[in-house]
Amino acid sequence: MHTNQTDPVILQTKQHFEVLDGLRGVAALAVVLFHFMEWVYTNPSQNFIGHGFLAVDFFFCLSGFVIGYAYDDRIAKMGVFEFFKARIIRLHPLVVAGSVLGLLAFLFDPFGGHPELYNTDKIILTFFCSILLIPLPVIADRGFNLFSFNAPSWSLFWEYVANIVYALVLCKIRRGYLLLLTIVSAVAICWVAYHSGNLLGGWSGPTFWDGSARISYSFLAGLLIYRSNWIVKNKLGFLGAGVLLFLAFVMPSSKWNWLSEPLVVLLYFPLLIALGAGTPLTPGFKKVCSFLGNISYPLYMTHYAVLWMFGNYYTSHKPDTTQLALIITVSIFLLVGAAYLVMVVYDTPVRKYLSNKRNKKLA
């Protein structure tokens, strides 16, 4: 009897906000382009997409909104343990894939790198820490990233932390307390930006705690938008919302980054999510949004292996502007294709298999 009551609640899936799916894809593409341009422009003020890293804050805010939407009304019935299982099945296969690709790129980079400088034990330990999302910034050749074999995993680390806090605390608290926590974390974001001059931190040992401020505010803000039903009806459509999102990534860098970046994160991204959730999707863009939404996470979690190879190529070969434009354009198309392949061949089947096993146990 108990199982029959629980099953539908645990197993049901809800409709997607399709425009938000599409925006997630736009943000993922912006991150990839930003990572290429980071190598090309050592001076961030010259980088035309110098704020592409803020896409991560957009992901965090979107995550808060989506988690609230997907689980607020059923986590009490499904239980914390089942919630964790669902999240691990959703997120972790690509954490593993990104780590494996990153290790291969480290060992077999045709354009450079020095794997011979690191003993086998250190490489194995770093790899297992990467798979288990345990920060270990020890590989100099990888810029002392928290996760040497897949740099973007730093944001997944904080995503997991946010999910744990959501399951244990946030799913139970009243909206007033949620608002208070959001305000406190907004102050933390402003302090980090003022102290560091920007919001770029979170990925390395010295900036580790910057990541906690970035996830705290954006995740809470997304959750608050959902619980407050701050969905703004509008006629922007996917194209309008996508352009508005992209503008945040290409805004000029300046000495005022410590002010402009928090404003984007504190006000602009939450507004875009409220607008994206409230705008209709024209049938012509349905497939585009679906595709962008589907490949966003695989692209984010698999692209960085290639970035290190590109960086070593760029440093050693010094290609001219025309060659660079061609290499980066082709690379992005290939990375999107590879992400799609990883999704179809690996991520979707693995998640389906794990979900089926979980569902059988529940039944």
Q: Which two three-digit tokens encode residue 295?
A: 């490949």
119 close to 180: Cβ distance less than 8 angstroms? no
What's the pLDDT at 6?
A: 41
With cut-offs at 50, 70 and 90, classify the pLDDT of residue 14: low
> To which residue do tokens 């989506």 refer?
66
Burial of 185: CB neighbours in 10 Å, binned 0-12, 13-18, 19+: buried
Percent above pLDDT 70 for the chain: 96
Q: Does residue 80 register a pLDDT over 90?
A: yes
List Cβ neighbours of 314 (8 Å cut-off, separation of 6 or more). Answer: 39, 40, 324
Q: Does residue 256 register a pLDDT over 90?
A: yes
Q: Does residue 291 register a pLDDT over 80?
A: yes
In this prediction, residues 166-182 reach a mean pLDDT of 97
In this prediction, residues 128-148 reach a mean pLDDT of 95
With cut-offs at 50, 70 and 90, classify the pLDDT of residue 16: confident
Residues present in the chain in total: 363
- Chain mean pLDDT for the chain: 94
340 close to 296: Cβ distance less than 8 angstroms? no
With cut-offs at 50, 70 and 90, classify the pLDDT of residue 113: confident
In this prediction, residues 287-311 reach a mean pLDDT of 97
With cut-offs at 50, 70 and 90, classify the pLDDT of residue 361: confident
Q: Does residue 31 register a pLDDT over 60?
A: yes
What is the residue type of 293? G
Residue 145, strand partner residues = 204
What's the pLDDT at 3?
A: 39
Distance separating alpha carbons of residues 112 and 108, to the nearest angstrom: 9
Distance separating alpha carbons of residues 117 and 139, to the nearest angstrom: 10
In this prediction, residues 194-208 reach a mean pLDDT of 96
Return the minimum-mean-pLDDT range out of 15-19, 31-35, 99-103, 337-341: 15-19
Other CB atoms within 10 Å distance of the CB of residue 277: 24
With cut-offs at 50, 70 and 90, classify the pLDDT of residue 13: low
Q: Does residue 292 register a pLDDT over 80?
A: yes
Return the minimum-mean-pLDDT range out of 6-20, 23-37, 89-103, 161-175: 6-20
In this prediction, residues 64-87 reach a mean pLDDT of 97
Among 64, 58, 27, which Cα is nearest to 226's? 64
SS3 43: coil
Q: Does residue 8 register a pLDDT over 50?
A: no
Q: In Å, how far are 112, 240, 329 from 243, measured between CA atoms?
A: 37, 5, 20
pTM for this one?
A: 0.95
Among 47, 159, 38, 46, which Cα is nearest to 95's? 159
Distance separating alpha carbons of residues 66 and 1, to the nearest angstrom: 30
Q: In Å, how far are 25, 31, 168, 273 from 72, measured between CA atoms?
A: 25, 29, 12, 18
What's the pLDDT at 15?
A: 63
> To which residue do tokens 């019935």 refer?
77
Distance separating alpha carbons of residues 267 and 347, to the nearest angstrom: 34
220 close to 64: Cβ distance less than 8 angstroms? yes
SS3 204: strand
Backbone torsion region of residue 296, taken as left when φ is above 0, otherwise alpha when ψ lies between -120 and 50, otherwise beta: alpha
